[in-house]
Amino acid sequence: MNTVIFRTFAPFLAALMVLFSIFILLRGHNDPGGGFIGGLLAASAFAIYGISNGVPAVRRALFVHPMSLAGFGLLIAGLAGVPSVFADVPFLTGLWVYPEIGGVELALSTPLVFDIGVYFVVVGTITSIALALEERHVD
């Protein structure tokens, strides 16, 4: 299965999948999608890249250990609840701010921060599992 065509095409496919996963992440709190589905898509991209180019190539592309990404995501998801404590509402209650940047009003929210945390948890965990399985694979 690891043909020349697959090895050539896989990096482009993986990059496209990661970009699409970010799109799914960012639209998730308004439409179907979100951090979990986006994270699964990104982890699938890293798995495809790992199958085509090997586990060391994926580890170089990630810059950090996948479980570090999961821990970072867990921290971000937990920190998404901190503003609700200061707003005197229940923990993890969704809060929105609407800053205006360059004449464009943006809707930023704590659910988006939570989704970003979930994204990193899923990417880190699933990528770590996929890489461990790929390392154990014997041709």
Domain boundaries, the chain: 4-136
The answer to whether residue 9 scores a pLDDT higher than 90 is yes
Q: Residue 13 pLDDT more than 80?
A: yes
Cα 135 from Cα 139, distance rounded (Å): 11
- The pLDDT assigned to 11 comes to 94
Question: What's the CA gap between 46 and 60, in Å, rounded?
Answer: 11
pLDDT value of residue 31 = 72
pLDDT digits (tens, 9 = 90+) for 95-113: 999 999 888 998 888 999 9
pTM: 0.90
Query: Is pLDDT at 75 greater than 60 in this prediction?
Result: yes
